[in-house]
Amino acid sequence: MEILLIRHGQSEADILNVHEGRADFSLTDLGVKQVQKMAERVKNDFVPEIIWASTLKRAKETATILSKVTDCEIIFEDDLMEHNNGVLAGLSFEDAKKIPSPKYPHESVENGESAIEFRMRMEMIFSRIVASSSNRERIAIVAHGGVIHNLIHSFFKMPIHTEFGFFTGDTGIHLLEINEKGRFVRFLNDTSHIKSLELVYNEKC
């Protein structure tokens, strides 16, 4: 089974310079264009049989566009939502500096979840998705940077607490595979489909 991990496009939080997490922002106009480019790439190169997606607006909108372009069913899953960052959600980066950061993986900001709780949530949903998709050749998971980071950790069976990170750009695509020989990485964080948009945007700026 091949697993596409896909991050949502640019959201309003990205241009407002605020913490996102559980803050529920929609895609920007640029974000929609990014998603359309990504969806065409997926349609041409690796159409999934089913899409699993976070219920937060930016991921939900991304998955909906992908679904329409590829004519693929979506399952929306609350457990694929981004890290619960509690009181930081929607807060400006400047104001967030006044709030103490957790020192240990078991600690969390007020009303949020710890790094350990987040990772365990990803372990549970990843296991559930893989188990329910065992008869499929390719699936897609549309979610968030932190979610994808932890799903890759889960895929590699890495320790709960590790310094290794996996960055995902806007509409970045990762392609993983699980087969009888083991677990394999086809590629990570491919954003080549939006390069033309970046050039146009930079020229306007």
Tokens found for residue 4? 């596409």
pLDDT for the residue numbered 97: 87
Among 61, 82, 149, 174, the one annotated catalytic: 82
pLDDT for the residue numbered 199: 61
> Active-site residue 19, yes or no?
no
Tokens found for residue 138? 């390719």
Please state, as a whole number, how many other Cβ atoms lie within 10 Å of the Cβ of residue 40. 14
- Per-residue pLDDT, averaged over 63-91, amounts to 96
pLDDT for the residue numbered 88: 92
**Calpha distance 14→20 (Å, rounded):** 8
- The most confident of the ranges 40-54, 80-94, 153-167 is 40-54
pLDDT for the residue numbered 31: 97
Instruction: Express each pLDDT in 15-32 by its tens digit.
Output: 998 999 999 999 999 999
Distances (CA, A) of 58 to 10, 11, 72, 157: 8, 6, 18, 28
Distances (CA, A) of 165 to 79, 96, 153, 158, 183: 21, 22, 8, 11, 18
pLDDT for the residue numbered 203: 42
- Chain centroid to Cα 204, Å, comes to 28
User: Where residue 205 falls among pLDDT bands split at 50, 70, 90?
Assistant: very low
Among 2, 8, 149, 153, the one annotated catalytic: 8
Q: What is the pTM of this model?
A: 0.93
Coil, strand or helix at 45: helix
> Active-site residue 8, yes or no?
yes
Coil, strand or helix at 4: strand
DSSP labels for 122-154?
HHHHHHHHHHHTTT-SEEEEEE-HHHHHHHHHH
DSSP labels for 23-41?
--PPB-HHHHHHHHHHHHH
In the chain the domains, ranked by start, together with CATH numbers, are 2-204 (3.40.50.1240)
- Per-residue pLDDT, averaged over 40-49, amounts to 97
Instruction: Express each pLDDT in 129-174 by its tens digit.
Output: 999 998 999 999 999 999 999 999 999 999 988 878 899 999 999 9
Tokens found for residue 105? 């993986």
